[in-house]
Each structure stands twice: as C-alpha cells, then as structure tokens.
Homo-oligomer: A and B are copies of this chain.
Amino acid sequence: MPIVTIQITREGTTPEQKAALIKGATDLMSEVLNKPPALTFVVIQEVELADWGVAGLPVEEFRRQTGSEPNGD
C-alpha cells in the first residue's frame, strides 16, 4: 500500500500526462516491490512557479538569470 507523491511546478501538465504519471508510478511499485496497484495511491501536487525556489530564487527568476528553459529544470 505505497503512497507516491509527485511535486511539480504548475506549467500546463495535461490530464493525459497526469494519467501517465499515475500509471508509471503504480507500475514502478508493482515491478520493483510487487505492490498491488489496487492499494497504491499516487498524489500529484502542482506548485505555482512563485512558490518553488531553487538556488535561492523563485523558479522564474532562476530561469531568467540562468537562461534555462521551462522544461530545462
């Protein structure tokens, strides 16, 4: 009965992508630890860009300063 929590920045993740994350995480628990899907919970938490910091900066400012692309981090 594992719980997999996936925290990502809120940047347009589609329902299909979320379904793929849920399936992938559940399959992973089944394949590696033989955990039954019926008792595997997956929770996705989308976090606003202003609420996520890296290198001491909010993500958008970090990207501005480093020139990295939205999906480069």
Interface residues of A toward B: which range? Answer: 35 or more
- Whether B73 pairs with A41 at a CB distance below 8 angstroms is no
Q: Say how many copies of this protein the assembly contains.
A: 6
- Looking at the assembled complex, report how far the CB atom of A45 sits from the nearest CB atom of chain B, in whole angstroms: 7
Q: What's the least CB distance linking A27 to chain B, in Å?
A: 7
Taken together as a complex, chains A and B put the C-alpha atoms of A72 and B40 apart, in Å, by: 11
A53 contact set on B, CB distance < 8 A: 18-19, 21-23, 25-26, 40-44
When C-beta atoms are compared, the residue in chain B nearest to A19 turns out to be B58
Q: For the complex of A and B, list the 10 residue pairs with the smallest distance between their C-beta atoms, beginning with the closest.
A: A22-B53, A42-B53, A26-B56, A44-B51, A24-B28, A3-B7, A5-B5, A34-B71, A37-B56, A37-B55
